Amino acid sequence: MKESLTGHVLEPIIRKALAEDIGPGDLTTSSILSGEERGEGRALAKSDLVLAGIDVFITAFRLLDPTAALREALVDGTAVRPGQTVAVVSGSLCALLSAERTALNFLQRMSGIATMTRQFVDAVKGTGTRILDTRKTVPGLRVLDKYAVRAGGGTNHRFALYDGVLIKENHVAAAGGIGSAVQRVRRRAPHTVRVEVEVRNLEELREALDAGADMVMLDNMDVEAMREAVLRAGGRIPLEASGNVSLANVRTIAGTGVDFISVGSLTHSVRAADISLLISPEPPPEG
């Protein structure tokens, strides 16, 4: 995956994480080291994983030591086997020791997300259905969580409440109907965002189609109903399946012909990828 996260997005997040962990100072490291030592850190995969977050990983070290640098690294999105080196970073030994936990906390979470996303993506391979994330991300890290989903081959749903419209039951009730809700949104929201409507049954689907919705989310429908919904939509607008999706049922759902399946657990129930950092001091330069 060639795409990279630019510094102006990453740095404030990582700076805050370092401040949380180091605060007024790393008591152990600053007591023992002189600050002059150099070292190398080798990040090793200890289980199968899909890598995500190398930019974040190296930035954590660089913010403590501007001379820190990657000596080698796999690219995000790579499937990695246990025992493989995913990155080697060199720099001040103090920086390596003090930023280790922060760098790994990011890398392990992001790779955990990419790994699970890849499993869902593989499960629907060949069906044409795409795997979507949700807004069920960790507060403050959404930009990283959603990047990791892309690294795993998934597709991003709207980023937030401001870049997409999703009309839910309460909105419909307040507007007095799906048609009126869609109308109100079209009047106020930028025409650059699509209007999606959440429906719970085929009757609501019909209303949404009549109202001119740009997309429909089928919320917690059973497979039969979804199949019927696909027929009725007839390809005019994309359909998204949502609710209780797991690796066990995702392919069946894809088989209904829906265009998208959104999976909250990609980001709300992340299993950290197992990666450890082997740090070793470098011999001081001769002379």
Only one of the segments 2-10, 76-84, 204-212, 222-230 lies at the binding site for its own copies (rule: CB under 8 A); that segment is 2-10
Under the binding rule (CB under 8 A), the answer on residue 81 touching its own copies is no
Under the binding rule (CB under 8 A), the answer on residue 118 touching its own copies is no
C-alpha neighbours within 13 Å on the C-beta side of residue 269: 6
Residue 120 dihedral angles phi and psi, to the nearest 5°: -65, -40
Under the binding rule (CB under 8 A), the answer on residue 37 touching its own copies is yes
Distance CA 88, CA 191 (A): 46
Give the footprint of its own copies on residues 215-274 (CB under 8 A).
215, 238, 260, 264-265, 268-272
The answer to whether residue 125 is catalytic is no
Could you tell me which of 182, 127, 194 has the C-alpha nearest to residue 157?
A: 194
Which residue in 146, 226, 239, 266 binds its own copies (CB under 8 A)? 146
Contact flags string 163-192 toward its own copies, x per CB under 8 A: xxxxxx-xx-xxx-----x--xx-xxxxxx
DSSP 155: B
Only one of the segments 71-79, 95-103, 226-234, 250-258 lies at the binding site for its own copies (rule: CB under 8 A); that segment is 95-103
Under the binding rule (CB under 8 A), the answer on residue 102 touching its own copies is yes
| Per-residue tokens: 180 | 């009126």
Distance CA 207, CA 47 (A): 48
Specify burial of residue 6 (Cβ count, 10 A radius: 0-12, 13-18, 19+).
exposed
Which residue in 101, 206, 227, 251 binds its own copies (CB under 8 A)? 101
Rank residues 249 and 280 by Cβ distance to its own copies and give the closer one: 280
